[in-house]
Amino acid sequence: MVETRVIDGKASAASLRRRVAAAAAELAARSGIVPGLAAVLVGADPASEIYVRSKAKATREAGLAGFEHRLPAAASEAELLALVAKLNADPAIDGILVQLPLPPQIDPQRIIAALDPAKDVDGFHAENVGRLWSGGRALVPCTPWGCLVLLRETTGTLAGAEAVVIGRSNIVGKPMAALLLAEHCTVTLAHSRSRDLPAIARRADILVAAAGRAELVRGSWIKQGATVIDVGINRVAGDGGKSRLVGDVAFAEALGIAGAITPVPGGVGPMTIACLLRNTLIAACRRRGLPEPAV
């Protein structure tokens, strides 16, 4: 049995938001620049509404300027492309976030391709993806960046570690693998077709679960002392007919085996918005050729 440290994502996110706020205040004092983040919401998906609202609050609290653009659920792709073009050209906007999912008449890939890569604070544009994999200066997707911040804080150096990422989405799994490779980990990217996933997972010093499958990773899949980052957010039936959130890792089983683990909720989740603010600040500095704050 090892004593498992439960990683406090809320505290790490609050600390990152404070660092962003301090750097933004310094930028404003030095050059009068207030980084601007535009959130675009098409339709009224309830989860997206909540997310956009908490983003707006965090943006204000960090001293950045937040702008919200709403289009009706029936908006055409051309309308959204026109809005993106307007935001690309607006000097007050440093970051553009188009909230996914989009309604079926709009192709998300065409929208992402239309974003100015310098303002693509979600890091989804092919130019940022290419830069990430080729070691250039990319804007990196927020959730995997948040995972990396937690890993660095938890384990210090990652060089040489065996890292296993479960899930190969463009939003989480693939960029996570690229980031861990850049940290000199030996990286395995596992997915739904991987053979003998438990054996692959058991190799991991660092295990990142991002499959979106409730409690897929059992305690027996985890190497003694491994650091486990649980990205999954799954709603399952709980006691008394109420639903509850669980991750992709069977948390109770991992206790006593993992060296450290992120809980769900309260682990990776809070980091995502904090990283979005960081990306907006970084984008504002890069676009103007100013030195980047180390946040």
Catalytic residues, which ones?
55, 99, 122
Half-sphere exposure at residue 92, Cβ-oriented, CA atoms within 13 angstroms: 6
- DSSP 8-state assignment for residue 121: T
Nearest to 42 by CA among 67, 77, 66: 77
What whole-number distance in Å separates Cα of residue 209 and Cα of residue 231?
6
Helices 126-134 and 173-182, axial angle in degrees (round to 10): 30
Considering the complex, what minimum distance in angstroms separates the CB of residue 190 from ligand NAD?
Answer: 6
CB of 9 to ligand NAD, least distance (A): 9
Q: Min. distance of Cβ 12 from ligand NAD in angstroms? A: 13
Q: Are 194 and 173 in contact (CB under 8 A)?
A: no
Q: Is 12 in the site for ligand NAD (CB under 6 A)?
A: no
Q: Report, in Å, the least distance between residue 230 CB and ligand NAD.
A: 9
For residue 209, give the H/E element and its range.
strand 206-209
User: Using CB under 6 A as the criterion, what x/- string covers residues 191-230 for binding ligand NAD?
Assistant: xx----x------------xxxx--x--------------
In the complex with ligand NAD, the residue whose CB is nearer, 83 or 262, is 262
Q: Which residues ranging from 106 to 145 are in contact with ligand NAD (CB under 6 A)?
A: 143
Q: Which residues contact 130 (CB under 8 A, 6 or more apart)?
A: 136, 138
Minimum CB distance to ligand NAD smaller for 19 or for 168:
168
Q: Which of 173, 175, 259, 263: binder of ligand NAD (CB under 6 A)?
A: 173
CA distances to 46, 49, 122 from 101, rounded to whole Å, are 11, 12, 13
Given the complex with ligand NAD, which of 20 and 171 has the nearer CB atom?
171
- Residue 172 engages ligand NAD in binding (rule: CB under 6 A): yes
Comparing CB distances to ligand NAD, the nearer of 64 and 276 is 276
CA 202 to each of CA 162, 167, 207: distance values in angstroms, whole numbers, following the listed order: 10, 16, 9
Binding region for ligand NAD (CB under 6 A):
143, 166-169, 171-173, 191-192, 197, 210-213, 216, 231-234, 268-269, 272
